Structure formats: C-alpha cells, structure tokens
C-alpha cells in the first residue's frame, strides 16, 4: 500500500497527546494537512475547516479529533469527498448519525473506522481470551477521574451532546463489551447533573451480563490517584484490569503490565482497513450510553465551574 496522505481535524489536547505521535511513528501515513479553528502543527499546512482542507489539499483519509457534536457533518463532508474516515470516540452525537455515516461510506466505497482506543490497551485481548470459557458471576466497573485535569476548560463536555462523565466512561464500556462473553443490558441508572448543565458529572448504572449483575460507577470529580478498573468474578476466580486496561491480573498469576500503545494500534488498524477495503463500526458501547440516558433518574446537584 502506498503511504496514506492524512488530514487531521481538530488540533486539541487529544490530537497533540496521542494522534500526532502515533501518526509520526507509523510509516503507512503522512500528515499532509490539518483543519482546526484554533490549533496548528508546525510544518504542516493548516486550514480553517474540513471542507476547505478537502477541496485544497490532495488527501486519501482524514482522522477526526473534534468533539462529537459536529462530527457527523465533518465525517459526511470527508466521505462525500471520497476520503477514508477515522473517528475518535464517541463516533458521533447520536446512533442515527453513526448509522447514516456507515451507509454513506458503503455508497462511497470508503473505509469508516469508529475507534475505541481503550480496547487496544495491553490487557484487553488476553482478558477476553481468558474469559471466553468462564462463567461470569459478577462484574464491577469503576471509572473515576478529574475533569479539570483531563478536560481543562472544555465546556462542551457538559453541554447537550457532550456526554459528560460518559465521555471517559464509554472507554470502560468499550472494554466491557469487548471482553465479556455475553451482551450487556442496562436495567437502571442514576445521573448527577450540575445545575445549569446538560450532561452528568457522575453516574451509577445497574446492568446484566447474562445472569450476572454488573455494577458501574462513573465519577468526574475524583482528585488525587485516578481509578480506571474492571473486576470480573468468575467460576475460576477474579480477573482484574487496572489503569484503563493496561494492567491485567489473573487468578494465581503475576500482574501483567505493558507500555501504552493504544493509538499506535489504532492507526495500524486504520491502515489495514484501508488496504483491505473494509470498515469497522461497533456501536455497542454507545448504545449502552444511550440506554443509560433513556432509563436514568436525573438528580440536580450543585453548580460546577472549571
């Protein structure tokens, strides 16, 4: 496959922290242009928006790192220009938008890749393999982090369509849907929404995986050490994934820890999909978020400011 000429849309924190290093390290891609209202990359031609970039610069693909609210229009612009598209998580603001993009990509014969970076954490694949023949007795998911540390000043995340605490929480759900041998179903949820905001800062969700209860706790106000853990009780003991899936502990075995290569693996997968003419669009994590919002009891809490 020839080197893919890539446009990167949205030059914010996640693009700088993760996407730019992964692109630079992957010989299958050349960063040919960027599109951003506020950011730029030294030595790379920058444009105001994706339409201007697609019209002015020869590209093969784009990677979208913008908030989910405007993702549908941006992705559709790229698809209609004949470009392959990689979407940051969550892939769009609604499930209907994702379905429409998937249909548009099929019509245009281009690749659409809805990414879930946490599935590429080092412990996820071996956890899935170990759980494949186990009886699941109970699951506990705790995803607690500091919004001011990871999303400083990002007002959009608490607005309508911003997902709130489900923006990081969907990472946990992406892992759970990948490793558990049966489907997850939401039974009940509560959400704590700050006064004057549209999206929650905390949530508790009761789910089922087959006959096994699944308890989920999301919190966006945890300071100090951050918690990203999943524990699965089975007939063969308890499996533990910590640090967002990068640290795996199996019953009777030593803890396994490997370096973070999540985004490197995502771009390797994107290159593979383009080369083979395939798409990869799994909406199960987003469907669980949608179900939680539909079923949740919403509680108004004190106002919040960054």
Read off the pLDDT of residues 139-153 as tens digits, 9 standing for 90 and up: 999 999 999 999 999
**How many domains is the chain partitioned into structurally?**
2
20 and 36 belong to one structural domain: yes
Instruction: Considering the candidates 13, 89, 134, 135, report the single residue annotated as catalytic.
Output: 89
183 and 143 belong to one structural domain: yes
Residue 283 is assigned to a structural domain of this protein: no
Is residue 60 within 8 Å of residue 305, measured between CB atoms? no
HSE (CB half, 13 Å, CA atoms) of 6? 26
Read off the pLDDT of residues 51-86 as tens digits, 9 standing for 90 and up: 999 999 999 999 999 999 899 999 999 999 999 999
74 and 216 belong to one structural domain: no
92 and 128 belong to one structural domain: no
94 and 140 belong to one structural domain: no
Residue 56: which CATH number? 3.40.50.720
Measuring CA to CA, which residue among 200, 199, 203 is closest to residue 160?
A: 199
pLDDT for residue 39: 87
47 and 137 belong to one structural domain: no
End residue of a domain, out of 79, 97, 114 = 114
The pLDDT of residue 1 is above 80: no
Percentage of the chain lying above the pLDDT 70 cut: 100
End residue of a domain, out of 58, 81, 114 = 114
178 and 244 belong to one structural domain: yes
pLDDT for residue 255: 79
Q: Which of the four pLDDT bands, split at 50, 70 and 90, describes residue 160? A: very high
pLDDT for residue 8: 98
Q: Which of the four pLDDT bands, split at 50, 70 and 90, describes residue 253? A: confident
134 is catalytic: no
Residue 279 is assigned to a structural domain of this protein: no
Q: What is the span of the domain harbouring residue 64?
A: 4-114
pLDDT for residue 2: 86
Residue 264 is assigned to a structural domain of this protein: no
162 and 16 belong to one structural domain: no
End residue of a domain, out of 76, 96, 114 = 114
Percentage of the chain lying above the pLDDT 90 cut: 94
When pLDDT is averaged across residues 23-52 and rounded to a whole number, the result is 95
pLDDT for residue 10: 95
Residue 248: which CATH number? 3.30.360.10
151 and 110 belong to one structural domain: no
Read off the pLDDT of residues 184-231 as tens digits, 9 standing for 90 and up: 999 999 999 999 999 999 999 999 999 999 999 999 999 999 999 999
Angle at 136 between CA 131 and CA 138, to 5 degrees: 125
55 and 155 belong to one structural domain: no
Residue 223 is assigned to a structural domain of this protein: yes
128 and 106 belong to one structural domain: no
């Amino acid at each position: 496959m020839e080197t893919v000429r890539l446009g990167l849309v949205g030059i914010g924190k996640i693009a700088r922290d993760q996407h730019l290093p992964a692109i630079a390290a992957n010989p299958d891609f050349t960063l040919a242009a960027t599109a951003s209202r506020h950011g730029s990359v030294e030595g790379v031609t920058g444009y105001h928006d994706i339409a201007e970039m697609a019209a002015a610069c020869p590209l093969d693909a784009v990677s979208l790192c913008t908030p989910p609210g405007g993702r549908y229009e941006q992705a559709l612009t790229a698809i209609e220009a004949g470009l392959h598209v990689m979407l940051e998580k969550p892939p769009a603001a609604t499930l209907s938008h994702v379905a429409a993009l998937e249909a548009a990509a099929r019509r245009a014969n281009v690749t659409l890749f809805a990414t879930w970076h946490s599935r590429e954490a080092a412990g996820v694949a071996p956890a899935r393999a170990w759980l494949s023949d186990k009886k699941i007795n109970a699951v506990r998911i705790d995803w607690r982090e500091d919004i001011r540390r990871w999303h400083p000043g990002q007002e959009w995340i608490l607005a309508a369509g911003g997902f709130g605490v489900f923006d990081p929480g969907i990472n946990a759900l992406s892992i759970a849907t990948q490793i558990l041998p049966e489907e997850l179903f939401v039974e009940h949820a509560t959400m704590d929404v700050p006064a004057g905001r549209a999206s929650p800062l905390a949530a508790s969700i009761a789910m089922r995986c087959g006959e096994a209860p699944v308890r989920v706790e999301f919190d966006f106000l945890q300071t100090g050490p951050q918690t990203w853990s999943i524990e699965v009780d089975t007939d063969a003991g308890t499996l533990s994934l910590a640090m967002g899936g990068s640290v795996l502990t199996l019953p009777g075995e030593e803890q396994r820890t490997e370096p973070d290569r999540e985004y490197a693996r995502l771009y390797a997968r994107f290159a593979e999909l383009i080369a083979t003419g395939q798409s990869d669009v799994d909406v199960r994590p987003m469907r669980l978020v949608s179900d939680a919002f539909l079923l949740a009891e919403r509680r108004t809490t004190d106002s919040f400011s960054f």
